[in-house]
Structure 1
Amino acid sequence: MLRIHFQDADLGAVRVAAAPNPLWEIATSLHRFQTRAGRWAYADWHRTVRVRLREQGLDRALRTILLPLFPRASYFPDFLTRGPGVEGLDAGLDTILATSARRVSREVATLARRVGAPPWAARLTELDERRELVRVLRAYHEAGIAPYAEGIRARFDAERMLRCRGFVHDGVDGLLGGAGPPMRWERPVLHVDYPASHRDLRLDGRGLTLVPTYFCWRTPNSLADPELPPVLCYPVLRGADAPPPDPRLADDPTVPLAALLGRTRAMALCAAADGATTGEIARAAGVSAASASRHATALRDAGLITSSRHATSVLHTLTPAGASVLRAASRGNAS
């Protein structure tokens, strides 16, 4: 159990990451190779990526380099995931290269003491060795993460939307209190299911960054060094993918969609592009809540939207298929 202690200043400095963090996605995806827990949720990914890694000659690097450095255990080195996420993979890998030899040595020693580290890991204090590690991480990301970027971003945005809605309705209590079973908010302490034994993290006015992570399964994770900026990586929503609203959509894509779906369902699909509750769909389409619920069910059964319960309401967001339908309608309407 991880207990995160908030002061008043911390409550005003809680934020949700603006984009998926590729380093955390790499780390948690590597954990999926080390357990059967949650395997069903990633079955297609696991099977496909195993084959792809073997075809690209990366299976040995997976076994001898990546899995030993990222054990699914109570500890793996912070320098592997402390890089920024919003700026993308390159910025994160640059942070690994820029890590001081002293920090690398200390964290590898901690890995060796607490979990066990391969003998070669001590050489990561050398810049050339870290360059080779970065090369392997980049190749693994290209094979195992990048092909799934759309789905990862979709789940991330759906989760971020829910957290933001919780904040709008109930402030920090709504933001932290609705983050799912792995976390329990009892002001001023956030209790988090955690792979390590009992640990306390005192924010001391630094705030906390929440990082929804696609490959994180059930158990959140955090940086081990309490002096580093506080970060909490936790699982995104499970269920169908829900992509962000597409800025390329036309002003009124319901015109071509109405012939295909009917006017009410076309309006419901458009409303879901920005995330909409059943009541909001009802108001947008000018129908009753019961009717809106039936139309949302039809769209969900067709794979065009996904629905997630948050407190007393249900939030509907687009799936990648739904976003594609809206994009196609937008292009057709524009022509």
Structure 2
Amino acid sequence: MLRIHMSGVDLSKVRMATRPDALWETILSFHRLRDRRGSTVFGKWRTEARPRLKGEVRLLAALIPPRGYFPDFLTPSQESSEPYGIETGMEVLRNTPPARIRAELALLGAGRREAGRAPDGRAEPLGRFIDALRGYHRAAIEPYWSHIRASIEADRAIRGRALLDGGAEELLASLPPMIRWRAPVLEADYPVDRELSLDGRGLLLQPSYFCRVTPVVYRDPQLPPVLVYPVTHSHAPVFTEPGPWLGRLLGNTRSTVLSVIGNGCTTSELALRAGVSLASASQHACVLREAGLIHTLRHGSSVLHTLTPLGGSLLRGGAPLALS
């Protein structure tokens, strides 16, 4: 069990990350690559990503075990709510002090079979590891980044509504079921017992596509507090490519439905904004979801619809969504 102790000051400093963090997604996806569980969500991704990999798995496995602790320096911390892009994150990783690398590798465990292949803080071994990490990101993450970002945006829409409705406490109460707000403690399912005091530093909430089952926090309590938690995955195909559904999108009503979804709305709000019945709004949303143009998540007794990057691009006349 993880228990995060929060004061009133900490509550006032709870914030949401603005987008997915490239290095968190990269590192956590490496866990999913070697894990046979979660096949409904990650099975197709594994099948597609593995053939594109070369020697990266062997090098990365030296620092990223199949489960449990991995060094904190692999996912650099930042004070702001704006996560690192992949190149900035790699540069911060490259500049990690050698003493910190050695200390965290000692925690990883010298008895592990792969420990001898781990970089020891010297520039050359660390550079090889970073090159492997970059190659892995290009093969396993970059082709799916728009889908990853769409899932995080859908989660942010739900958390944003909770924040507006009831403040930081309602936001914390809205987090996935493995995380429970029992003021003044945020509890979460966790592999070991852990107590974390924020001491007025606040908490960054970082939704993650590849996080699974339990959230993740830094081992070092002195680092800026961040809670990485799994998004709720929809039941739609995970990495859907545009298909024959696009021909069904023709028509003024459905174009209106797509446009009024905007930054997110429930089915009831969609019906009201588009001037259609609730049943019609639900049917239109179903077609748009099958076409990969919207993302739908259930939240309590309602569902929330948000645009995917493809849907947003279509509304902008084909202009791509800026990704980082």
Specify every segment of 5 or more residues in structure 2 that has no aligned partner in the other structure, as ranges: 239-245
Bigger CA drift: 308-317 or 149-158?
308-317
Please name the residue that 2:87 is paired with: 90
One-letter amino acid of the structure 1 residue matched with residue 268 of structure 2: G
Q: Distance in 1 between matches of 2:32 and 2:283?
A: 37
The SS at the match of 2:263 is coil
1:17-166 → structure 2 map (5 Å cutoff):
17-53=17-53, 57-58=54-55, 61-63=56-58, 65-84=59-78, 86-112=83-109, 118-121=115-118, 123-166=119-162
Contact 1:83–1:92 (Cα < 8 Å) also in 2:
no
Structure 1 Cα separation of the partners of residues 146 and 138 of structure 2: 14
Which whole-Å CA distance do the structure 1 matches of 2:21 and 2:134 have between them? 14
Give the SS at the match of 1:76: coil
- Aligned residues of 2:77 and 2:223 also touching (Cα < 8 A): no
> In 2, distance between residues paired with 1:329 and 1:261?
16
- 1:266-304 deviation digits (Å, cap 9, x = unpaired): 222112232111232122122344543343344335544
Query: 2:243 corresponds to which residue?
Result: none
Contact 1:193–1:220 under 8 Å retained in 2: yes
Between 9-18 and 213-222, report the one with greater CA deviation: 213-222
- Between the aligned partners of 2:318 and 2:142, the Cα distance in structure 1 is 27
Q: Is the 8 A contact 2:62 2:117 kept in 1?
A: no
Residue matched to 1:205: 200
How far apart are the structure 2 equivalents of 1:113 and 1:74? 15
CA shift, 1:316, in A, is 1.0
Alignment of 1:1-335 (within 5 A): 1-53=1-53, 57-58=54-55, 61-63=56-58, 65-84=59-78, 86-112=83-109, 118-121=115-118, 123-195=119-191, 197-239=192-234, 240=236, 261-328=250-317
After superposition, the CA RMSD in angstroms is: 2.7
Give the TM-score normalised by structure 1. 0.84
Q: Conserved in 2, the CA contact under 8 Å of 1:184 and 1:191?
A: yes
| Range with greater deviation from structure 2 (15-24 or 111-120) | 111-120
Distance 1:227 1:329 in 2: 45
Q: Classify the secondary structure of the residue corresponding to 2:62.
A: helix
Q: Against the structure 1 CA distance between its residues 83 and 205, is the aligned structure 2 distance closer, same or farther, given a 3 Å change threshold?
A: closer
Letter in 1 for 2:19: A
User: Take 1:276 and 1:114, find their aligned partners in 2: how far apart are those partners?
Assistant: 52
Gapped regions of structure 1 (runs ≥ 5) = 243-256
After TM superposition, give the deviation of residue 155 of structure 1 in Å. Answer: 0.7
Q: Secondary structure at the match of 2:175?
A: coil
In 1, Cα distance between equivalents of 2:304 and 2:226: 26
Displacement of 1:323 in angstroms is 3.5
Partner of 2:120, secondary structure, is: helix
Distance in 2 (CA, whole Å) between partners of 1:267 and 1:66 is 47
**Measured at CA, do residues 184 and 212 of structure 1 come closer, stay the same or move farther in structure 2, by a change above 3 Å?**
same
The residue type paired with residue 46 of structure 1 is R
Partners of 2:11 and 2:169 within 8 A in 1: no
- Contact 1:278–1:313 (8 Å) recurs in 2: yes
Structure of higher CA gyration radius: 1
Structure 2 CA distance for partners of 1:298 and 1:127, relative to 1, 3 Å:
closer
Assess, with a 3 A threshold, how the Cα gap between structure 1 residues 31 and 287 changes in structure 2: closer, same or farther. Answer: same
Runs of 4+ in 1 over 6 A off after TM superposition: none
Q: Which has the higher helix share?
A: 1
- The whole-number CA distance in structure 2 between the counterparts of 1:114 and 1:232 is 29
Q: Distance in 2 between matches of 1:136 and 1:269?
A: 40
